[in-house]
């Protein structure tokens, strides 16, 4: 049951639609390298499409009815878009879910120090990374610093063309015989992923008793003070992410692919939000859910295991006149969801890690993983056959190119998504998404045809599931 390459069927009009979609996605990927920025961009998209903040609806005491469109945000890192359908909410929802956190380095709370006449910022990695990926590459600092007076300072240094960039040094090849003999996981110690941020000292009198003991670090801090009005102590209440510097770009002479940071999982989040706002009227209420913390187990106040989703659904059902606890439970159990996350694209260079009959091939369309997990499907949702059949029918009716796949060969490794968490409500959930090469590397690769088919598939699901 080999699936054809999606590119072979496209008309000139479809190619134009594909390129327009991917231009918007490249801009989204380039400008939103943190979960906070992704949520801000999603809110802007929603408001331009007529969505109203749920807090405003609650404050005004308004009732909700079919055709109303609302959104809710959670700690600036989660976003829920809701398009109320004509059917009673108790009958369930059609849900798209994706995450917008990506593997990265986070600054520690006391990050700044000086060594060897250079200023550094100390980091702790977030999510599954290969430490050696992060050395000798241009890096940016993106995030927020929250001051005690309640003000928040946005930080974004390294992404503009004329910005300075940062880097983590690597050991030169001439002295690295011992390093090269180590296993890859040990070649670069995660504790030494320290970002070089300066190499120039402040001027001072050597006889001055108050001269700074770390003059290069002091120069870095002085520049921060001048440009952002923050002190070293403000790092205690900061969230600064170290991410690859530079924009997403077309890849390949045929421009068929996109090379960028954060495809996992913004390549699913962006087309999900776009599909949500482009479906005007629905029978079953449609929801697109964008969440944080998937890369570290979906924990915390902004992870999928929080009560944000359930509480927001309860608020909406109450405003729509369906406020009983039983109605809420019935609605959740009767819902259908695509848990959208990236899949491992088949890589001929590492063919031994894939089983080709069940691998995701680049350019063959939207991926559906009946199960994920590892070691005997551990941690997997494992969608039932009836639901898979419904999904097949929806995709075929809409003419969406799709493929079924698994993450890799049995016992080669594995991974999971938010699917199993949502399935705890009893709803039907299946993993879906876009195939990606070099997953969790600084620069990942996605095929434009797969992004286009993902958008088309998400839209079809919201309209018909």
DSSP 140-169: EEEEEEE-TTS-EEEEEES-STTS--BB--
Same domain, 48 and 185: no
Q: Does some domain include residue 252?
A: no
| CATH at residue 221 | 2.30.250.10
CA 460 to CA 465: how far, in whole Å? 8
Same domain, 220 and 317: no
Q: Tell me which residue has tokens 């398009």.
A: 83
> Mean pLDDT over residues 1-15, rounded?
93
Task: Pick from 2-6, 176-180, 200-204 the range whose average pLDDT is largest.
Answer: 176-180
> Bridge-partner residues for 239, per DSSP?
144
> Mean pLDDT over residues 33-49, rounded?
98
> Mean pLDDT over residues 10-29, rounded?
98
CA 371 to CA 49: how far, in whole Å? 34
pLDDT at 376: 75
Residue 225 belongs to what domain range? 104-244
Same domain, 223 and 361: no
Same domain, 266 and 382: yes
pLDDT at 381: 82
Structural tokens at position 238: 């900061």
pLDDT at 139: 98
Top pLDDT among 315 and 414 is at 315
Last residue of a domain, one of 217, 244, 271: 244
The number of distinct structural domains making up the chain is 2
Q: Does some domain include residue 251?
A: no
Same domain, 409 and 280: yes
Same domain, 211 and 78: no
- Kindly report, residue by residue over 67-118, the tens digit of the pLDDT: 999 999 999 999 999 999 999 999 999 999 999 999 999 999 999 999 999 9
| Percent of the chain scoring above 90 in pLDDT | 90
pLDDT at 372: 80
- β-pair type (152-157, 139-146): antiparallel
Are the C-beta atoms of residues 168 and 193 closer than 8 Å to each other?
yes
The 10 Å Cβ neighbour count of residue 27 is 14
Last residue of a domain, one of 195, 219, 244: 244
Q: Does some domain include residue 184?
A: yes
Residue 350 has pLDDT above 70, yes or no: yes
Residue 2 banded pLDDT, cuts 50, 70, 90: confident
- Kindly report, residue by residue over 121-180, the tens digit of the pLDDT: 999 999 999 999 999 999 999 999 999 999 999 999 999 999 999 999 999 999 999 999
Same domain, 368 and 431: yes
pLDDT at 411: 61
- Kindly report, residue by residue over 436-465, the tens digit of the pLDDT: 999 999 999 999 999 999 999 999 999 998
| CATH at residue 76 | 3.40.630.10
């Amino acid at each position: 049951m080999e699936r054809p390459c999606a590119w072979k069927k496209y008309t000139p009009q479809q190619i134009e639609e594909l390129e327009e979609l991917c231009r918007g996605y490249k801009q989204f990927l380039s400008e939103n390298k943190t979960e906070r920025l992704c949520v801000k961009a999603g809110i802007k998209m929603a408001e331009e499409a007529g969505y109203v903040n749920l807090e405003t609806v609650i404050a005004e005491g308004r009732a909700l009815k079919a055709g109303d469109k609302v959104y809710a945000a959670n700690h600036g890192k989660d976003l829920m878009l809701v398009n109320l359908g004509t059917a009673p909410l108790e009958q369930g929802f059609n849900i798209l879910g994706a995450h917008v956190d990506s593997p990265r380095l986070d600054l520690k709370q006391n990050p700044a120090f000086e060594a060897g006449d250079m200023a550094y910022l100390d980091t702790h990695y977030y999510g599954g990374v290969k430490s050696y990926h992060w050395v000798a590459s241009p890096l940016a600092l993106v995030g927020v610093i929250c001051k005690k007076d309640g003000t928040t300072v946005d930080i974004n240094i390294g992404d503009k063309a004329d910005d300075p960039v940062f880097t983590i040094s690597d050991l030169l090849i001439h002295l690295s015989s011992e390093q090269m003999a180590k296993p890859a996981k040990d070649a670069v110690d995660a504790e030494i992923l320290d970002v070089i941020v300066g190499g120039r000292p402040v001027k001072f009198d050597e006889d001055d008793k108050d001269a700074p003991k770390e003059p290069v670090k002091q120069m870095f801090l002085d520049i921060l003070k001048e440009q952002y009005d923050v002190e070293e102590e403000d790092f205690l209440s900061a969230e600064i992410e170290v991410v690859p510097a530079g924009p997403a770009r077309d890849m390949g002479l045929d421009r068929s692919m996109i090379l960028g940071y954060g495809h996992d999982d913004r390549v699913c989040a962006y087309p999900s939000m776009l599909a949500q706002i482009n479906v005007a009227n629905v029978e079953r209420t449609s929801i697109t859910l964008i969440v944080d913390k998937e890369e570290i187990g979906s924990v915390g106040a902004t992870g999928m295991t929080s009560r944000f989703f359930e509480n927001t659904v309860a608020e909406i059902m109450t405003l729509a006149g369906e406020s009983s606890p039983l109605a809420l439970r019935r609605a959740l159990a009767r819902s259908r969801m695509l848990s959208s996350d990236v899949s491992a694209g088949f890589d001929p260079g590492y063919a031994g890690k894939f089983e080709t009959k069940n691998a995701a091939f680049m350019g063959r369309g939207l991926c559906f993983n009946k199960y994920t997990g590892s070691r005997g499907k551990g941690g997997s949702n494992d969608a039932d056959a009836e639901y898979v059949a419904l999904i097949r029918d929806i995709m075929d009716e809409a003419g969406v190119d799709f493929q079924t796949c698994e993450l890799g060969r049995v016992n080669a490794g594995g991974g999971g998504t938010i699917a199993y968490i949502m399935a705890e409500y009893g709803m039907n959930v299946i993993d879906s998404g876009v195939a990606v090469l070099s997953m969790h590397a600084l620069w990942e690769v996605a095929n434009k045809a797969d992004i286009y088919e993902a958008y088309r598939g998400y839209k079809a699901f919201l309209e018909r599931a």
